[in-house]
Amino acid sequence: MLKKIIEFLVLKVFRRNNNILNIMWNNRDEIIIGRDYSINYGKKINDKNNKIDHSSEPLFEFVNKDIIDKYDDFINLLDNYTKKLKINEVYSINELKEIDTFINNTLKTKNGKLLNNFLLEEGFVEKKEDITIFIKDIWFTLYDRKKSGVKDSCGFEHIFVGEINGKKIGGYHYWLTTYLDELKGVFNHYGYHKKNRFILTNQFELEDTRKPIGGFIIGIDPYTQFCMYTIISLDTKFRTLDGICTFKYYYFKYNNKKYINTCYPVI
């Protein structure tokens, strides 16, 4: 018992003295460029007002089918939402079960256990049994994004699925979603704005709506991004992934409570 207490305290001090985002990044699933996916960045676009497709080839040359199969619990969530805003959304019983499955699978990972401990240690939850409820609340609670009188959005939808409001695209910051939409023929990559080994900012069209500049982490598993963005949403100390990017985060206030709004990488 004493040994476990000591290990717990050592780990707590280690996390406080180190960037938990870096630790989570190092714990991420191994998804390797060239083996698991390949990207054709196309041409560089400097003009945000550009409206011409400068990259005739698809953004993704391939993604290993094993990756898609491995994260089917995440992929099951994507069709629970309508990308267009101002359309009321309601979760079915099955969709709520899919959310629980994804959260539970996330919390079983190394990063999920780190997040678990973080929430308890920092007082965001009082006991372990409250963690799933807390995470579901800040990520999946539906709110009225455009004050149109309907619950048409949530943090998960905005970041991982993407949203369209008239002629504007909101969110859309996950690479696997982009790949799947490209397969469907509803995503068209115009060219890249900035890039490094792990981050891409690009100009694109989604369902005939253009986004001047979007961005996402390339090749990150959904569990890790979900855990990292949860930490970012709760603690302003964590906004940097050393040597890779910084993060912009905004909350959404609805009925006097703060929910996740958006989070994305910046280079």
Q: What is the pLDDT of residue 10?
A: 46
Name the 3-class secondary structure at 204: strand
**CA 82 → CA 47, 74, 141, 262, distances in Å?**
30, 16, 15, 17
Q: What digits encode the pLDDT tens for the residues 158-202?
A: 999 999 999 999 999 999 999 999 999 999 999 999 999 999 999
Q: What digits encode the pLDDT tens for the residues 70-110?
A: 999 999 999 999 999 999 999 999 999 999 999 999 999 99
Distance, in Å, from the CA atom of 96 to the CA atom of 210, rounded to the nearest integer, reads 31
Residue 210: both structure tokens together: 């253009």
Whether the pTM exceeds 0.75: the reply is yes
> Which residue, among 210, 221, 154, has the nearest Cα to 187 in the 3D structure?
210
